[in-house]
Amino acid sequence: MPKIKFPDDFLWGTSTAAHQVEGNNKKNQWWKWEQETDLEESGIACDHYSRYEDDIKLMADIGYNAYRFSIEWSRIEPREGEFDEEEIKHYKNIVNQSRENGIEPIPMLWHWTNPLWFMKKGGWKKKRNIDYFADFVRKISEEFEFDYWLTIDEPMVYANRSCASENYPPTYIAEDGWPKKEKTLTPIFKVASNLLQAHAKSYEIIREKSSGEVGMSKAVNVLEPASDSSLDEWSTNIRDYLENDAWLQLLKKGKPIAPYYGEEFGNVLDFFGINYFFGEECYFDEKSGTPPYHFFQTRPKENCEKSYLGWCIYPEGLYKVLKRIENTLEIPIMITSNGIATETDLQRRRFMIDHLKQMQKSMDDGVELTGYLHWSFMDNFEWARGFEPRFGLVEIDYENLSRIPRKSAYMFGEIARKNGINGAIEEKYL
C-alpha cells in the first residue's frame, strides 16, 4: 500500500505548450520576434506537431493518464475570421489519440502566443480585442468537447514580461513595428485585466456548449519578506496584493478591487489551476527603483537549494499556496504546472517527491485536489532562454529529436500507476 495515497480518480499527467514543442509556428508574434532579435529561434522545436502520436503513446506506456496541451490560436485562425479546418482536424487527432491511449486531454486555449493579425490590432492592450479571442473560443467550443478546459495561462506573468521585459515581445505591434516598452504598472494591469476579462467571457461561451469544467491557470508563488524590517514587510504586502491577492479577491467576489482589474462578473471558475515553481522573498530597495515595481523588488529566497535557473526550490511554499487558494476560492484545485530546470535528474526526482508530499499534506488539511500535471513532458523551447533549460521528464536530443525518458519519467509513471508514493519508490529512485 502507498504510504501517500491520492483519490481514485486523480489525474497524473504532464503539460506542454504549442509554441514550445510543436515547431514552425510561423504565424504568431513569438516567431516574428525570434526572427527579428538575437534570441535563439524555436524552429522545429521538438517537432511535436508531427510526432504527437508517438509522444502520446510514450506517455501512456510510461503510465500517465492526463495530458495538458495548448491549441495554437494562430494555427486555427491565421487570418481574422478565417478558421483552418485542417488545423482543427490536427488538434482533434491529438484529442482522439489521447483518449484512445487512456489519457485525459486537457486543452489550454491561450498560452502566451497571439496571431499576427491580432497583434496588429493592438493585441491585449485593447479591451475591444477580447471579442476576437472570444470568437476563437466559440469556434473551439463548437468543435470540441472536454471534461476539463483551461482558458488562459499565467496572465500576470505574460503582462509583466510583454510590458516590461526587453527579452519578450511586446503585447502588440504598432504600424512602425515593435513599440518601445513603457515599463510602468499601468499597461501591465491593463493587459492583465483584459486577459482576465477574456477568461470570464470564455467561461460563459464554453459553458453554453459544454458540460465540462472550466478553469484558468495562474502562477501563484510565495512572497515572503526578506527580513523582519517593516519596509520589507510593507513591500511584500504591496507586491503580493498586486500579483496575487487582487486576482484572488476579484475571482471570488466578481468585483474589481484594484485599478484596471476590469468589470464585475459572476462565477467564472469551476476549478482553479495553479502553476507553482519557486519561492521568492521581497525587499525594499531605496537605491534601485528598477521599473516597473521600483522599490518593491523580489529575488529567490536565500538559504535554499537552487534550480539550474537559480530559482529557490521551496516545496513548503506549495502547501501555503494550496491552503491560500482553498481558503479564498473554496473550489477544487488542479496543479497545472510544477517542475524544475536542472542538469541533474536526481534533483528533479527529489523535487517531485517533495512537492507531492506537500500536496498530500494539504489534502489532509482539507484542500480538494483533482490532479497534478508536471512541467514538462519533454525538454522544450523555453521562450527567451531558448533550448538550454531542461525541464523535461523526457530528454530531447536536439541533434536528431529522439526522445529519451529520464528516470524521473519512470518514477512519475510508477507513482501514477500506484496512485501514490511508497517506500519502495523512494528507495528505488532517490
Residue 290's nearest CA partner among 163, 184, 384 is 184
Predicted confidence at residue 288, as pLDDT, reads 66
The tens digit of pLDDT for each residue in 350-381 reads 999 999 999 999 999 999 999 999 999 999 99
Whether 302 has a pLDDT exceeding 90, the answer reads no
Predicted confidence at residue 259, as pLDDT, reads 56
- Give the Cα-Cα-Cα angle 220, 95, 143 (nearest 5 degrees): 95
By the 8 A CB rule, do 334 and 272 touch? yes
Phi, psi (degrees; rounded to nearest 5) at 397: -85, 105
Residues 6+ apart with CB under 8 A from 380: 16, 17, 20, 21, 45, 46, 387, 391, 392, 396
By the 8 A CB rule, do 302 and 314 touch? no
Q: Using CA atoms in the order 97, 99, 102, 104, what is the torsion angle rounded to 10 degrees?
A: 120
What whole-number distance in Å separates Cα of residue 344 and Cα of residue 250? Answer: 40
- The 10 Å Cβ neighbour count of residue 86 is 7
Predicted confidence at residue 262, as pLDDT, reads 61
What whole-number distance in Å separates Cα of residue 282 and Cα of residue 163? Answer: 21
Considering the chain, what is the average pLDDT of its residues?
95
The tens digit of pLDDT for each residue in 7-30 reads 999 999 999 999 999 999 999 999
Whether 295 has a pLDDT exceeding 90, the answer reads no
Whether 241 has a pLDDT exceeding 80, the answer reads yes
Predicted confidence at residue 42, as pLDDT, reads 98
- pLDDT confidence band for 290 (50 / 70 / 90): low
* Cross-strand partners of 148: 213
Reduce the DSSP state of residue 220 to 3 states and report it.
coil
Predicted confidence at residue 248, as pLDDT, reads 87
The strand ranges marked E within 159-221 are 213-219
Reading the block at residue 103, the C-alpha cell is 489519457
Predicted TM-score (pTM) of this structure: 0.96
- pLDDT confidence band for 264 (50 / 70 / 90): low
- Can you list the domains of the chain with their CATH numbers? 7-223+271-278+314-319+331-429 (3.20.20.80)
Phi, psi (degrees; rounded to nearest 5) at 292: -90, -10
By the 8 A CB rule, do 20 and 73 touch? no
What whole-number distance in Å separates Cα of residue 333 and Cα of residue 407? Answer: 28
Helix (H) and strand (E) counts for the chain?
Answer: 15, 15
* Cross-strand partners of 5: 420
Predicted confidence at residue 379, as pLDDT, reads 99
Residue 261's nearest CA partner among 251, 269, 275, 271 is 251
Predicted confidence at residue 251, as pLDDT, reads 85
Which DSSP helix (H) or strand (E) runs through 349? helix 345-364
Which DSSP helix (H) or strand (E) runs through 11? strand 11-15
Q: What is the mean pLDDT of residues 159-177?
A: 95
